[in-house]
Amino acid sequence: MAKQNQTLGEFIIENQSEFKYSSGELSRLINSIRLAAKVVNHEVNKAGLVDIIGAAGETNIQGEDQQKLDVYANDKFIQTLTNRNIVCGIGSEENDDFIAINSIDENNQNKYVVLMDPLDGSSNIDVNVSVGTIFSVYRRITPVGTPVTIEDFLQKGDAQVAAGYVIYGTSTMLVYTTGHGVNGFTLNPAIGTFYLSHPNMQFPETGHIYSINEGNYAHFPQGVKNYIKYCQEDEEDRPYTSRYIGSLVSDFHRNLIKGGIYIYPQTAKAPNGKLRLLYECNPMAFLAEQANGLATDGFQRIMDIKPTELHQRVPIFCGSRKMVEKAKEFMKNA
């Protein structure tokens, strides 16, 4: 049973038997993510003191300008996961293609692939707004001992064995699930240890916050426009409060604690939405469902979508159960 102020390491060991495949490998993988997160956190907290903010001068596969910290975080997570000989493949939002990990051990039996957004919301670094890391873990489907293929990465979200995020904010937290609820761990920077601070995190069944970039209102589908009007109506339990940070991890984390819905729909400019299915939507959907919430593209469950490409985008509505269900009604009836 989770104990308040238990360290992340203690928690992983105590709950290892709950992992779907209890070989110790997944435990070591989570520990590696913890280590990389501490390194990135240290660098994020130096922003403004050293030359790590601003654009790196390159663009990623999506055509987005890479920030210096994007590149740094990407390198650190890949380096940590590779050097500790834990995974057989890595997919990153910052890389054009997946990375096959060639083990130094010829008898390596690594079974897991990791997909990640190494620094979500990095454009906010310059203005000292919270950013985060998102990760998703799958068990490979090709034979162990052979090179990974694209099929190992193009799995439905329902096949995830672990997912989570790290939020680098006023405090640094690692929040994750292995399919047995959601737990949050806060970093004590004085000693570099994560402690269980938020056991068994749950979305309130409903909330009073809606998070969407209303600057794109004119380009939203009619169902989304109708839902926003509903949120703004002066009724007994409304209007709701509009809160949008522009960092998925930050918006999701606030809504998880306070109750709310996060929406990034398709628009005229982005007909498939903006967020990536494999790096952002699937891990957040897994967390949402494990925390008594819901995640949908407006019509179907996010984790039922079969990916067709590594950087596929989808619309997303996720958060408190009743709010997501109401948004789906408006989408269906538009």
Question: Consecutive sets of 10 residues in the chain, 334 residues long: mean pLDDT of each?
Answer: 78 76 75 92 69 50 64 92 89 94 65 94 78 95 91 98 94 95 94 94 98 96 98 95 95 98 94 96 98 98 98 98 98 94
Q: Name the phi and psi angles at 171, rounded to 5.
A: -135, 160
Cα 316 to the center of its chain, rounded Å:
13
- 250 labeled part of a ligand binding site: no
Q: How many other CB atoms are found less than 10 A from the CB of residue 63?
A: 6
Amino acid identity of residue 88, one-letter, is C
Amino acid 26: pLDDT: 81
Whether omega for the bond prior to residue 239 falls within 30 degrees of 0, making it cis, is: yes
- 117 labeled part of a ligand binding site: yes
Return the residue matching tokens 């806060």: 186
Tell me, yes or no, if the two domains 8-198 and 209-333 fold the same way.
no
Longest C-alpha distance within the chain, in Å?
A: 66
Amino acid 50: pLDDT: 46
Q: How many other CB atoms are found less than 10 A from the CB of residue 145?
A: 12
Cα 187 to the center of its chain, rounded Å:
18
- 234 labeled part of a ligand binding site: no
Amino acid 48: pLDDT: 53
Q: What beta strand segments (E) does the chain contain?
A: 55-59, 65-67, 89-92, 99-100, 112-120, 131-139, 160-168, 172-177, 182-188, 193-198, 209-211, 241-242, 261-264, 293-296, 316-320
Contact 305, 265 (CB under 8 A): no
Q: How many other CB atoms are found less than 10 A from the CB of residue 1?
A: 7
Six-digit token string for 331: 């989408």
* Pairing mode, strands 99-100 and 89-92: antiparallel
- 274 labeled part of a ligand binding site: yes
Closest to 138 in 3D by CA, of 12, 274, 282, 36: 282
* Pairing mode, strands 182-188 and 293-296: unpaired
- 128 labeled part of a ligand binding site: no
144 DSSP assignment:
T
- 255 labeled part of a ligand binding site: no
Amino acid 130: pLDDT: 87
Give residue limits of the domains in the chain.
Answer: 8-198, 209-333
Six-digit token string for 96: 């054009």
Helices (H), the chain: 8-14, 25-44, 68-83, 222-232, 248-258, 282-290, 321-333
- 45 labeled part of a ligand binding site: no
Q: Which CATH number fits domain 209-333: 3.40.190.80, 3.30.70.20, 3.40.50.360, 3.30.300.180?
A: 3.40.190.80
The CATH homologous superfamily of the domain defined by 8-198? Fructose-1,6-Bisphosphatase, subunit A, domain 1 (3.30.540.10)
Six-digit token string for 275: 């967020």
Q: Name the phi and psi angles at 18, rounded to 5.
A: -80, -15
- 235 labeled part of a ligand binding site: no
Six-digit token string for 234: 């002066």
- 54 labeled part of a ligand binding site: no
- 27 labeled part of a ligand binding site: no
- At 41 the three-state DSSP class reads helix
Closest to 167 in 3D by CA, of 255, 39, 41, 257: 41
301 DSSP assignment:
B
User: CA of 48: how far to CAs of 43, 98, 172, in Å?
Assistant: 10, 32, 18
- 130 labeled part of a ligand binding site: no
- Cα–Cα distance measured from residue 194 to residue 37, given in angstroms and rounded to the nearest whole number: 11
